């Protein structure tokens, strides 16, 4: 039997990633799984290397990581609150925020393997028509290259995201 123990959700703070967070939390609560919310900060890996040499005592990178980790926690808490407000409270779900730099697809694929992820839940804008229109180019790349199952979520199924 297939079981889900760890879910990875790439988050760019768009409506589609908010829908993915909501879906992942619901699945995690049903499966007694944990959720890793991942935000890939563009260029942060290069900036870290530069600052190590030029400004080793500068806290800008640490501040950016802390800010985005809190934003990920806040996004999860908002979805948990919305579930509660709709009369469908979720039991406790373990949520871990991760903020890293690098190529977003490479980071997702590496973490999927490193963290033994069973499911990636990703949002899509799904602009276009036909089967190709279901996926954004990003979600299509994740589906094509992931070593685990991928659930692609559209924001349209989550009408409360229009606020």
Residue ranges per domain, the chain? 6-162
Angle between helices 60-85 and 15-31 (to 10 degrees): 70
What pLDDT score does 162 carry?
Answer: 47
For residue 72, what are its two tokens? 């990920």
DSSP string, 106-134: HHHHHHHHHTT-SEEEEEE---SSHHHHH
Which superfamily, per CATH, for 6-162? HUPs (3.40.50.620)
CA distance 40 to 43: 9
For the cut 60, the answer to whether the pLDDT of residue 160 exceeds it is no
Q: Could you tell me if 155 and 123 are in contact, meaning their C-beta atoms sit under 8 angstroms apart?
A: yes
For the cut 90, the answer to whether the pLDDT of residue 132 exceeds it is no
What pLDDT score does 139 carry?
Answer: 80
Under the banding of pLDDT at 50, 70 and 90, the label for residue 107 is very high
What pLDDT score does 101 carry?
Answer: 86
User: Using CA atoms in the order 3, 158, 106, 101, what is the torsion angle rounded to 10 degrees?
Assistant: -120
Kindly give the residue spans of alpha helices, DSSP state H, lying in the chain: 15-31, 44-54, 60-85, 104-114, 130-134, 137-145
The 10s digit of each residue's pLDDT in 36-81 is: 999 998 776 666 555 555 656 667 778 888 999 999 999 999 999 9
| pTM: predicted TM-score of the whole model, two decimal places | 0.83
Residues 8-37: what's their mean pLDDT?
94
């Amino acid at each position: 039997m297939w079981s889900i123990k760890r879910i990875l959700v790439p988050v760019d703070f768009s409506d589609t990633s908010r829908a993915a967070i909501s879906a992942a939390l619901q699945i995690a609560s049903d499966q007694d799984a944990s959720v890793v919310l991942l935000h890939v900060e563009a260029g942060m890996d290069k900036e870290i290397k530069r600052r190590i040499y030029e400004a080793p005592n500068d806290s800008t990178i640490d501040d950016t990581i802390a800010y985005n980790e809190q934003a990920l926690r806040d996004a999860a808490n908002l979805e948990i609150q919305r579930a509660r407000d709709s009369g469908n409270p979720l039991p406790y779900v373990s949520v871990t925020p991760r903020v890293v730099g690098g190529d977003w697809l490479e980071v997702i694929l590496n973490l999927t393997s490193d963290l033994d992820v069973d499911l990636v839940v990703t949002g899509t804008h799904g602009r276009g028509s036909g089967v190709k229109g279901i996926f954004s180019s990003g979600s299509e790349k994740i589906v094509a290259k992931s070593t685990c199952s991928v659930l692609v979520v559209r924001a349209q199924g989550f009408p409360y995201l229009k606020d």
